[in-house]
Structure formats: C-alpha cells, structure tokens
Chain A
Amino acid sequence: MIRTDSVSLQYGWGDSAHQVLQDITFTIKRGSSCAIIGPSGCGKTSLLFLLAGLRQPTEGHIIIEGDYRSGTILQNYGLFPWKTVRKNIGLGLTLKKTDKQRVEQRVGRLLEDMELTGFGDHFPSQLSGGMQQRVALARALAVDPDILYMDEPLSSLDALTRERLQNLILDIWQKNRLTPVLVTHSIEEAVFLGRQILIMSKNPGKIVQIVENTQAGDPDYRQQDSFFKLCNRVRAILREEENG
C-alpha cells in the first residue's frame, strides 16, 4: 500500500520559493493501479519523484508499506546512450551483482516481450522513440518490481502502438501482480489503466478529485459505453478546473 499524507513540495527558498504541490493525500492499494492526470506543469512529475523517493517532500509523509522493489520510467525514458539496449535493460540486475547468465536470460526474455528481438546490440539513438520507450519499460521491469512508476511512458507513440503497449502494461499488471502508477496526458489512457484516477489542478498542484474506476483492468474496456462515459466525465472535470 502506498499512502501520502498531506504532502507538500516547494522548490527553492525565500523569494524564489515556488509551491508546486499542496496537501496531496491519497492511498493506492497493493495490486491496484493509479493514473495521474492534469494540465502541464501541475506537478505530476514532481509527485512521481516523491513517490519514487527521488525527492523528499517539504511537508507531510509518504508511506509505502512492506518490502517492495520499484521500477521507474522517467519522463524522457532516461536511457543511457553509451550502453547498448541489452546493457540498458540489464543494468538494474547488473548493479545488484546478479549472475551474468541470469541477466542474459532475463534480458533475452524481455527483448522478446517488447518485440525488440534483434535490437539488443543497438544503441538507444539508433531506435525510434517508441522503441526507446519499450526499452525503458523493459529496464524498469527487469528487476521484477512490485511498484512500477511511469511518467508519460507512451507519449510520442502513434495511436495503435500506444494502445498495444497499454494492453502490454495491463497484461504485466495482471500477470505479475504489480502496482502501476502512471502519469499521463491522455484521458483514454488514464481511464483504461487507472483503477484510481487522480485529477490534478495547477498553481499550486492539488488533487481536484479521485475517480474510482473499478472496470480498469478489463482488456475490452475500450469498447464499452461505460469507458466513453467515464472519459467524458474526466474531461468535464479537467475542463471545469481549467476555466476556474
């Protein structure tokens, strides 16, 4: 279980202080999923950084219960250009001094899952944006995480590839019983993948509403009326916030 308790975040001090997040409180159950959506600059990336432990909140607490491993995909994938695809994907395991052969096996498997077979010895700059995003996903998954933090992992993909990868994430979520936490700009993506949808507003970044979405997890959800209805509802909330 991930729980945030009145979390605030401020960048800078004194005159240049800038309140980015204010009073963020929510809970994500283990094995559930969460999508975070809101206007650009509302603090989604900042919030994910706090959850992933890359920054500390100025106020409040973040509690993650139990033993867990996390995998993280940063907004711009954060791949290392000097490492081959294979080395990038296996890095998390290599750093843990995992047996070489086991790393190779795991990486080979992930290359297959991500439809990247044959690209293992390429460098990231030789891949398209979509392929790089899949490498980033593979790298985060390589360590068998319990929580998967993703910051717009599928932006810059064409619509069909995007849906295919959404299905892939859904698949991984269901099969591996992990907890995806996903930042996205796409309403459809949030509704398809977020069992819980955090809708944020900006200046300072606050949670406007937490939408429960029990149907998320169903691979055929996209074709159902309830899907369109919920998309429209989320759209309405976002629009209302934007117009003040």
Chain B
Amino acid sequence: MARKRDILIAGLVLLVLWEIAAILLDTMALPEPWAVAADLAVKVVSGSLIDDIAISGMRALLGLFFAVITAVPLGLLIGSEPPLRKTLSPFIYLLYPIPHVVLLPLVIILFGIGNTSKIFLISLIVFFQILVTARDAAKNVHQNYLYSMQTLDASHFQVYVHVILPATLPKILTAMRISIGTAVAILFFVESFATTRGLGYIIMDSWGQADYVALYTGISAMAILGFSLYLMLDRLERRICRWQNIH
C-alpha cells in the first residue's frame, strides 16, 4: 500500500485540480469541492447520509463476500484438478465474457426487487472475476511445492490448505481489489432503480432534481466507501500475506 502521507498529498492534489476545473468551467454541473464538503459534513453530522452509506456498504460487502466464498474454492478446485478443468473450462470460457448485468431482468424475476437481487448481481459479476483468477493461479502453482507435500505424505485436503490456498492468495487478493471497483460500479447501477436507499439512489435522485451539490456529495460518499473497502483489504492482506512484505 502507498504510504499514508502520499495518499493524503494525492487527495489534496485532486481537490485542487477539482477546484481549478470548477472555477474554469464555471458550470452548475461541477460545484466547487468546498461546497460539496460542507454538504457532506452536514449530512454526515445529521445522520441522513450515514444510513445510505451503511446500506450501500452492506450490499457491496455481502456481494463480495458471497462471491469470494464460492469462487475461491471452486476456482482452486478447477485449477488443480485436471479432469474438472477440462470439463468446466469451456463453460467458463463462454460465460465469462458475457456482461452479466444484462441478466438483471431475470435476477429480478427470481429474487424480487429487494436487496437479494442487488447483492446477487454484485456477487455474480465479481464471482467470475475471482473464479478465473483463482483457477489460473491454482493451475500455475509450482509442481515442486506439490512434490514437497507428497514427500511429507500430505492428504489431498492438506495440499489445498497448506499449499494451493496460500500460494494463490496474493493473486486472489489482487483480484478482490479489482472486484471492489467492479462492485461499486454495479452498486451504482443496481441502486439506480427500485430503491429509495443507498448512494446510487442518492446520486440518481439528486441528478433528477438537478441538485448538483447533493449529486457530488453522493459521488464523494461512494468514493469514500470504495476507499474504505480498499483499506480493509489492505489490512487483511498485510495480516495474511506477511511473508510477501518482508523484503
């Protein structure tokens, strides 16, 4: 992870650029950052925005969670077991490139218009990203590690726990990092209809009312949400991949 001070500086630079652009363009569609910051502060203090951040955060997190707990084991299994790989890879090959958002109508019919279908859609899309990464990483686990395990009389299950999972973890975490970006983008999409809660709704609603300050407040809150998810993942990575960060 980049150092805290560097991130702070980058944030300030972006704010300055934003301010300059707002002054130069002089349009309602780009309010100045301090106006947005003030609006954000008021809404956070009054608590009106907190609920929306929480509900969006919960949707994104659950979506990621279900995707990870299904895609990682399945991906590792497909990558490590040649017969399974042979059988299932063609299906992944065909299904992966489809923009899964188009399944939204079907998802709504199956799961209704509530949280379930929103979370499901996030899971579904992120699932494939992680599945493919986990599969490829497992396939490329160095044969020597597997031989080493064999010399220690390891069971099949032990090979997964002690070698395949830890060996692929850095790549899986990278995929999860990319997935956070994806999850937030889909969040915006699934919250733009059939709901009155969440940051996506706030953004669409403010736009509809031409309340540009509120619109940017929503966007900023979404950015903060994404950033927090990133930070959580970074912490997790430093804990479980300690061996990678010792040089």
Q: Chain A CB within 10 Å — which of B148, B162, B166 has the most? A: B148
Interface residues of A in 78-92 (CB under 8 A from B): 78-83, 91-92
Q: Does B246 contact A (CB under 8 A)?
A: yes
Q: B151's closest neighbor in chain A, by CB? A: A72
Give B168-209 interface residues, CB cut-off 8 Å to A. 169
Q: Contacts A80-B162, A82-B167 known; A54 to B246 CB distance under 8 Å?
A: no
Chain B residues, CB < 8 A from A83: 162, 166, 243
Query: Can you name the residue of chain B whose Cβ is closest to the Cβ of A126?
Result: B246
> Which chain A positions have C-beta within 8 A of B158?
95
Is A28 in the interface zone, CB < 8 Å from B? no
Task: From the candidates B151, B167, B246, name the one contacting A70 in the complex (CB within 8 A).
Answer: B151
Cβ–Cβ < 8 Å partners of B247 in chain A: 125
Asked if A80 meets B246 with Cβ closer than 8 Å, knowing A92-B153, A95-B153, the reply is no
User: Chain A contacts of B148 at CB under 8 A?
Assistant: 74, 78-80
Q: Is A71 positioned at the interface, with any CB of B under 8 Å from its CB?
A: yes
List A149-174 residues whose CB lies under 8 Å from chain B: 149
**Which residues does chain A contribute within 8 Å of B242, judged by CB atoms?**
123
Bound Cα distance from A52 to B246, whole angstroms? 34
Q: A54-B147, A78-B148 are in contact. List 20 more A-B contacts (CB 8 A).
A: A49-B147, A52-B151, A70-B151, A76-B144, A78-B144, A78-B145, A78-B147, A78-B151, A80-B145, A80-B162, A80-B166, A82-B167, A82-B241, A82-B243, A83-B162, A95-B152, A95-B154, A126-B246, A140-B151, A143-B152
Q: Is B144 touching A123 in the complex (CB atoms < 8 A)? A: no
A82 and B166 contact, CB distance less than 8 A? yes
Q: Looking at chain B's contact residues, is the secondary structure mostly helix, strand, loop, or mixed?
A: helix
Question: Residue A175 at the B interface, CB < 8 A?
Answer: no
The 6 closest A-B pairs by CB, nearest first: A78-B148, A72-B151, A82-B166, A92-B152, A123-B243, A82-B243
B169: chain A residues within 8 A (beta carbon): 82
- CB-based contact A74/B151 at 8 Å: yes
Give the residue name and chain of the B residue nearest to A52 (CB).
B151
A74 touches B246 (CB 8 A): no
Interface mask (B128-151 → A, CB under 8 Å = 1, otherwise 0): 000000000000000011011011
Contact partner of B151 (CB less than 8 A), chosen from A54, A76, A81, is A54
Q: For the side of the interface on A, what is the size category?
A: 20 to 34
CA of A126 to CA of B243 in the docked complex: distance in angstroms?
9
**How many angstroms between the C-alpha atoms of A96 and B247 in the bound complex?**
32
Q: What residues of chain A have their CB less than 8 Å away from a CB belonging to chain B? A: 49, 52-54, 70-72, 74, 76, 78-83, 91-92, 95-96, 123, 125-126, 139-140, 143, 149
Question: A residues within 8 A CB of B167?
Answer: 82
Cα distance A145–B36 in the bound complex, in angstroms? 70
User: Could you say which residues of chain A place their CB within 8 Å of the CB of B151?
Assistant: 52, 54, 70-72, 74, 78, 140, 149
CB proximity of A64 to chain B, nearest CB, Å: 14
What chain B residues lie within 8 Å of A52 (beta carbons)?
Answer: 151
- Chain A residue, CB-CB nearest to B247: A125
> In the complex where A125-B247, A126-B246 touch, is A91 in contact with B147 (Cβ < 8 A)?
no
CB distance from A70 to the nearest CB of B (A): 7
Chain A residue at smallest Cβ distance from B144: A78
Given A74-B144, A81-B243, A82-B166, the answer on whether A54 and B150 have CB atoms closer than 8 Å is yes
* Shortest beta-carbon distance from B176 to chain A in Å: 18
Q: Which of A78, A95, A123, A149 is the one whose CB lies under 8 Å from B246?
A: A123
With the chains together, A52 CA to B147 CA distance in Å? Answer: 10
| Interface: B163 (CB within 8 A) | yes
Residues of the A chain whose Cβ atoms lie less than 8 Å from the Cβ of B154: 95
Task: Name the CB-closest residue of B to A79.
Answer: B148
Task: Tell me if A125 and B246 are in contact (CB < 8 A).
Answer: yes
Q: How far is the CB of A79 from chain B (nearest CB, A)?
A: 8
- Complex: how many Å from CA A49 to CA B147? 9
> Separation in Å of the A119 CB from the closest CB of chain B?
13
A147 to chain B, nearest CB (A): 11
Give B153's nearest chain A residue, CB to CB. Answer: A95
- Alpha-carbon distance A96/B155, docked complex (angstroms): 10
Give the docked Cα–Cα distance between A125 and B241 (Å): 13
Bound together, the chains give a CA A54 to CA B153 distance in angstroms of 11
In Å, the complex CA distance between A197 and B187 comes to: 69
Q: Which residues of A contact B163 (CB under 8 A)?
A: 80
